[in-house]
Amino acid sequence: MIEERHEGSDEKETGRIEAFSDGVFAVAITLLIFNVQVPILDNPYTSEHLVRLLVLRWPSYLAFFISFATILIMWISHHNMFKLIYKSDMLFLLANGFLLLLVTFVPFPTQLIAIYLTTPVAGVACAIYAGLFTIINLAYNLLWWRAVSRHRLLKAHVPPALIRTRSRNYLLGVPCYLLALLFAFWNPAVSMGICSILWLFWAITNFEPRA
């Protein structure tokens, strides 16, 4: 009975962490829409002019969609990670806080992409975008490493195969995002394509059997 009460207390603690994290993810993903601005027409108003201005803002729609999808998948990954976690400690809390700090920063490079993707400085904008997600991926690896190290924070009976699969998938993102970062200066479109492929990869790999 003592052990059951202790387990319940730890689960409640991680529940608060998840609730706080969910709120941060929700705010970050909502702020993305502010990068999609309504075009301002000059008189005389014409449908053709409005349509043309809306089409010209395609980088804003692209940046919004990619960042929205990426944050959504990051939240799902975060949720799935916490399904395996039994308790927390100070280092785990700090690692989670660092991850959330980076998540709140996503709207900034998203706006850079929206404004500068079709300009000569698109490479810099895409490099900052890919660079941020490189660091975010490192933060996920740090958070996961703290949880699985010596199994100190995991629930009992988590399959070793699942741990290995998750670890491999998290590590795979680091070189891929670095590749997107390097391509940004040579071909920004390829860089954004790599970032898009990666969120598709995370979406697929997050559909795993429950532990």
| Per-run averaged pLDDT (10 residues), the chain, 211 residues | 41 80 97 90 82 92 94 94 91 96 97 95 96 97 92 86 90 94 95 92 72 42
- The pLDDT assigned to 3 comes to 39
- The pLDDT assigned to 208 comes to 56
| Omega cis (within 30) before 160 | no
Q: How far apart are CA 106 and CA 166, in angstroms?
A: 23
Closest CA to 170 of 64, 99, 121, 118: 99
CA dihedral angle for residue 132, residue 25, residue 35, residue 98, rounded to 10 degrees: -30
Q: What is the pTM of this model?
A: 0.86
Whether the CB-CB separation of 123 and 188 falls below 8 Å is answered with: yes
Domain boundaries, the chain: 2-205
- The pLDDT assigned to 211 comes to 42
